[in-house]
Homo-oligomer: A and B are copies of this chain.
Amino acid sequence: MFSDTAAKKGVTFPKGFKAAGVKAGIKKSGNLDVAVIYSEEEAAVAGVFTQNAVAAAPVYVSKAAVEDGKARAIVANAGCANACTGEQGMKDAKHTAEIAAKALGCAADDVLVASTGVIGVNLPMDKLEQGVKDAVASLSTEGSVDAGNAIITTDTYSKACSTEVEIGGRKVRFGAIAKGSGMIQPNMATMLSFITTDAAIDSKLLQEALSEITEVTFNMISVDGDMSTNDMVTVLANGAAGNAKITEKNADYKIFYRTLKEICTGLSERIAADGEGATKFLTVHVTGAESFDAAKQVAMSVAKSPLVKTAFFGEDPNWGRVICAVGYAGVPMTPEKTVVKFGGIPVYANGTGASCDADALRKVMGQHDIVIDVEMGLGSAEATVWTCDFSYEYVKINGEYHT
């Protein structure tokens, strides 16, 4: 579902969806910066939003729009986050939905809005209004790539995918575009993921599925430990596939759920791998924990440690920093029972360093994708967190004076 061809189809792969991305002059670079995703028919909608107490205006507007379980469109812009913008920010976010609704011929409360970019600056509403109108005018079933490129910021590439499954004898399609990079962390910092499907599903069930899946996918990414003011994940399901509407947790629901989880997992991995300045993609897999929460806490402690992240940047098999981060995670652990592996090779066991094949270990550390296993030996719960290394480039990107 993440092949180049599948990614190209993106959010317009499911029936009845159009998208567009246009240049409105909001990004300083002059690149694409306004996206619209549109469902020709009313769609069931679900959303998960940032838990930051300082949530941006578009988060409030979209939360309200999702409440009745139905929606038609999403308008997103990059270059300005419309966060910490007070009453004017709320007015602007609402007005953006109204502009799009008018152009699309739908109700304003059926339009979700999303923004990403600089905090504390008001939206340039003239530019945005023109951008929304241009995007609506150019909506097409080929518009997913432009829409994907319009929402990225410091991402090195736009994340997208699409896939088809059979549900109740019908072909059901799914698609997605997403952005991530800096500040990515549990609770989805500066992360936008828009998923579309032509499945017919009850909106409450859709929300339940998305909320559950977010816990073990988007909320398990850590790039730098910061959580942004603007994050959201949404799913629009317009029923155009004609499957019998999923209203209970039957076999159809299971296929739907599994497919949505695969999409969210794939997007999460790609978002983590494309963290600012990343040179390594790290999967921290904790097993044998007493509970999922304990496993997650240990995995996050390892994934967030700057010392671990710089060690992997330097291709240094420094298990001491990993076991140290396990030790201060704040959950019970027994050094003698704990095993740490890099790329499947045990590097720490029985309370001390494990003797291992230095050549094989060097090869592991030289790879781009590295799995760090932490076996706690205390129970049967597990958790996986995705992160990246910390490089000079990270400091450069975030140390530059932007304002």
Contacts and interface: CB of A to CB of B under 8 A. Distances in A.
Contacts of A305: 224-226
Contact of A327 (B52, B85, B350, B399): B52
Number of copies: 2
A395 B398 contact: no
Most-contacted residue by chain B among A84, A86, A311, A315 (CB, 10 A): A84
A141 B183 CA distance: 51
A120 B319 contact: yes
B399 A311 contact: yes
Contacts of A85: 352
A229 interface: yes
A40 to B, nearest CB: 37
A291 interface: no
Contacts of A350: 86
A249 interface: no
A226 B321 contact: yes
Interface of A, secondary structure class, is loop
B120 A54 contact: no
Interface string A137-157: 000000000000000000000
A20 to B, nearest CB: 29
B352 A306 contact: no
A118 interface: yes
A310 interface: yes
19 contacts: A53-B326, A53-B327, A53-B333, A54-B324, A84-B323, A85-B352, A86-B351, A119-B320, A119-B321, A119-B324, A120-B319, A225-B304, A225-B305, A226-B324, A226-B325, A307-B398, A317-B403, A394-B395, A395-B395
Given A120-B353, A310-B394, A391-B399, 6 more contacts: A227-B327, A228-B324, A229-B320, A313-B395, A316-B399, A395-B395
